[in-house]
Amino acid sequence: MTFEWIQIPYALLTIFIVLNYGLLMTALIAKIAARVGRRHGIPIWQNYADLVKNYGLRSSITHGVMFYMGPVFRLTGGVGLLLFVPTIYGSVMFSNLSFAGDLILALYFVFFGTLGMALGAAESGHPYSAIGITRGLSQVTMAELPLALAVFAVALHYQTLSITEIVAAQQGGFLNWTLFTNPLAVAAAMLAFLGSMMRPPFDVVLAPQEIPIGPPTEYHSSYLALMQTNRVLFPIAKIVVYMNLFFGGATSWPEFFIKVFLIYMVSVLVGVVFPRFRVEQSIRWFMIWAVPIGILAIVLA
pLDDT digits (tens, 9 = 90+) for 119-173: 777 777 777 777 777 787 888 888 889 999 999 999 999 999 889 999 999 998 8
When divided into structural domains, the chain yields a total of 1
Residue 2 domain flag = no
Query: Is 37 contained in some domain?
Result: yes
Comparison of pLDDT for 111 and 174, the residue scoring more? 174
State the Cα–Cα distance between residues 226 and 216, nearest whole angstrom: 11
Is 1 domain-assigned? no
pLDDT computed for residue 237 by the predictor: 93
* Closest of 163, 206, 190 to residue 265, by C-alpha: 190
Which pLDDT does position 236 carry in this prediction?
94
Name the pLDDT band for 96 (thresholds 50, 70, 90).
Answer: confident
Half-sphere exposure of 93 (CA within 13 A, CB side): 8
Does 218 score more than 60 pLDDT? yes
Q: How far is CA 252 from CA 25, 164, 277, in A?
A: 19, 15, 38
| Cα–Cα distance list, 48 to 19, 45, 54, 57, 232 (Å) | 11, 6, 10, 15, 11
pLDDT in tens, 183-201: 999 999 999 999 888 888 8
Q: Residue 146 is part of which domain span?
A: 7-300
Give the model's pLDDT for residue 209. Answer: 53
Is 229 within 8 Å of 19 (Cβ atoms)?
yes
When the pLDDT of each residue in the chain is averaged and rounded to a whole number, the result is 86
Crossing angle between the packed helical segments 291-300 and 127-158, to the nearest 10 degrees:
20
The answer to whether 40 and 27 are in contact (CB under 8 A) is: no
Question: What pLDDT is recorded for position 126?
Answer: 74
Sign, Cα dihedral of 48, 51, 55, 60: positive
Label residue 107 by pLDDT band (50, 70, 90).
confident
Virtual CA dihedral for 165, 88, 14, 76, nearest 10 degrees? -30
Is the pLDDT score of 221 beyond 90? no
**Of 269, 286, 268, 280, whose CA–CA distance to 142 is shortest?**
286
Whether this prediction's pTM lies above 0.85 is answered by yes
Distance CA 284, CA 3 (A): 44
Q: Is residue 250 predicted with pLDDT exceeding 90?
A: yes
Q: Is 85 helix (H, G, I), strand (E, B) or coil?
A: coil
pLDDT tens profile 64-84: 788 888 888 888 888 989 988
